[in-house]
A and B are shown apart, each in its own frame.
Chain A
Amino acid sequence: MAGRAPIATKSSALIAMIADEDTVTGFLLAGVGNVDLRRKTNYLIVDSKTTVKAIEDAFKEFTTREDIAIVLISQYVANMIRFLVDSYNMAVPAILEIPSKDHPYDPAHDSVLSRVKYLFSAESVASGRR
């Protein structure tokens, strides 16, 4: 493997959204909405009637689709399926937790930050220096 030239692969991909109505509407205004011939969309609008199962199904669908590179999910929605979000560890699609109108962003619940915070424990840093 020494001396092997890095291979770059470029592809086009969509942004998926699992968020409240205003957030999804806003991003659709910015042109990210995609509806295919089977009427499958790249977004799910979450309201008071949306079930946790529907959110889980949408998350699983968006994270397995090959044409999606980023999944935006409101943090309060991510909290409803926290186990699923935290157990997701693929590089693509990237899961980004975003704030919503009624729920500000909380770094303590961010799945990305929780994956790296253990590096700040005194024990892990000190043990590496011995």
Chain B
Amino acid sequence: MKISMAEEEAAAVHGNGDSDEKVLEFLDSLEGYLTLMESLASTLRQGWFELASARHSMGVSRVSSASLDLKDHLASTYLEMTQHEFDESIMRQPQFSLRKWASFENGICSSGEEKPDSPQLRQRCPSQISENQEDLSKSDGSHTTVDDLVSVKKERSKSLSVFGTLVSPKLRAAQASFETALDILVEVANLRSSMLSARNQVQRGIEETRK
């Protein structure tokens, strides 16, 4: 009898410890989210300023939406998304990573499953992406070859060439600022996922306690 009561008390203390941990995880995610949003605002302000400077030196007509390329083309910077399904009762928590200056090809690869063949969709698994010389700088700072760097420079120039052959250094600086902003945004998206997942767990804990 005494042993079972002690066990119940230990379980209650352990349960409270678990819920405290979940609350702390949620608060940490929230703090990180707000900090990153401030950092994003600062980076975007710098980007807008540099864009305005470029517009001033190159002319309003050259740096405007009228110059944007409306011919069909693939994005050079895109996301790689990993979704983990841990439990059916918990919302899937996706994780995003940024692939910069690579070639976007729509594809889905699942671990442990054979990649389906499709003549219409060009599909690549991440393992193949790393072997491709055109697949380039990743936001996680992994090692790149000289070919990769040349290709990145080529893709960056291609993006700038929409605004003319000779562009202001300020436009290049704006490009770098917005690339940094993208890195921050991907971190924000990941923290958002963590925060919402932690919120769901805290909410479940509260509901279970109420029962």
Contact = CB atoms under 8 A, between A and B. Distances in A.
B47 A26 contact: yes
Which 6 A-B pairs give the minimum distances between C-beta atoms? A31-B76, A31-B77, A128-B206, A34-B75, A26-B178, A30-B178
Interface of A: 1, 6-15, 21-37, 39, 41-42, 45, 67, 69-70, 72, 91-92, 94, 96, 98-99, 101, 104-105, 107, 112-113, 115-116, 119, 124, 127-130
B130 to A, nearest CB: 13
Contacts, number: 206
11 contacts: A7-B111, A10-B109, A11-B108, A13-B78, A26-B48, A26-B181, A33-B75, A70-B79, A112-B196, A119-B202, A127-B206
Contact of B68 (A15, A25, A119): A25
A13, A26, A113, A115: most-surrounded residue (chain B CB, <10 A): A26
Given A25-B63, A31-B75, A12 B104 contact: yes
Given A8-B110, A94-B193, A105-B40, 14 more contacts: A8-B84, A9-B83, A9-B108, A12-B105, A12-B106, A14-B104, A25-B65, A27-B182, A31-B159, A33-B68, A69-B81, A91-B193, A94-B192, A98-B44
Contacts of A112: 33, 192, 195-196
Interface of B: 19, 26, 30, 33-34, 37, 40-41, 44, 47-48, 51-52, 63-65, 68-88, 91-94, 96, 99-101, 104-112, 124-126, 155-156, 159-160, 162, 171, 174-175, 177-179, 181-182, 185-186, 188-189, 192-193, 195-196, 199, 202-203, 205-206, 209-210
Contacts of B192: 94, 96, 112
- Mostly, the A contact residues are mixed
Contact of B80 (A12, A31, A35, A36): A12
